Structure 1
């Protein structure tokens, strides 16, 4: 089964408003579909998180299922510290998990597809 995360760009107020609307609907007994969304406050912030190198790590995690961060670093032909730093950024964004298994840490992709959604305003709203 495909696990898709939707990435949206918008102010934190918009994300909170949508969350609040979902909670009100749930409390009223309405069925609210489960949404896998990650919000970024700006296009610049999204670009700073989803760099080409980090996207490549996501692809390697999904395709090769490395058993450790060290193995992922070897697959990526990068240093372990650099890979650990990138995994930390991806984990903070909610795109991966790093699971402790004994003495090693195993990176796990939370999703197998990323979909971008939303609008990027190019004009300011009228006051």
Structure 2
């Protein structure tokens, strides 16, 4: 069972995030241990990604630990395309980790 983790998030404009990323790549800036690992462009974008519907989805994932998208679809009643899109977005922000499994 994967354990829950607390994620520290921050708000930063795209331009500032780009400058920060370049500075890190050049070795000009070393992020502090306690800095956020997940960044959003605005409170609005954070609210969209962490909506109550998506929080409910995360709760189902934590509690039921579905082993497939189909199982998650059955548990939540959400359509597969909607779930797939949402999970990809959550993965981009480092909130979930998706893994392909070959069921041959």
Q: Distance in 2 between matches of 1:100 and 1:8?
A: 29
**1:90 and 2:73 equivalent?**
no
Larger Rg: 1
Task: Return the TM-score normalized by structure 1.
Answer: 0.61
Equivalent pairs, count: 99
1:64 paired with 2:64, answer: yes
CA distance in structure 1 between the partners assigned to 2:84 and 2:48 by the alignment: 16
What's 1:4 paired with?
6
CA contact (8 A) 1:91 1:98 kept: yes
In structure 2, C-alpha distance between the alignment counterparts of 1:87 and 1:48, rounded to whole Å: 13
Partner Cα distance (2:38, 2:72) in 1: 24
User: 2:4, 2:62 within 8 Å by CA — same for their partners in 1?
Assistant: no
Q: Which has the higher strand share?
A: 1
Measured after TM superposition, the shift of residue 11 of structure 1 is 2.2
CA RMSD of aligned residues (A): 2.8
Greater relative contact order, per chain length (Cα 8 Å cut-off, separation 6+): 1
Instruction: Check conservation: 1:9, 1:41, Cα contact below 8 A.
Output: yes
Unaligned runs of 5+ residues in structure 1 are: 27-31, 105-127
Give TM-score, length-normalised by structure 2: 0.73
Instruction: Describe the SS at the equivalent of 1:97.
Output: coil
| 1:114 aligned residue | none
What CA distance in whole angstroms lies between the structure 2 residues aligned with 1:39 and 1:51?
16
Provide structure 2 residue ranges, at least 5 long, that are not aligned to the other structure. none
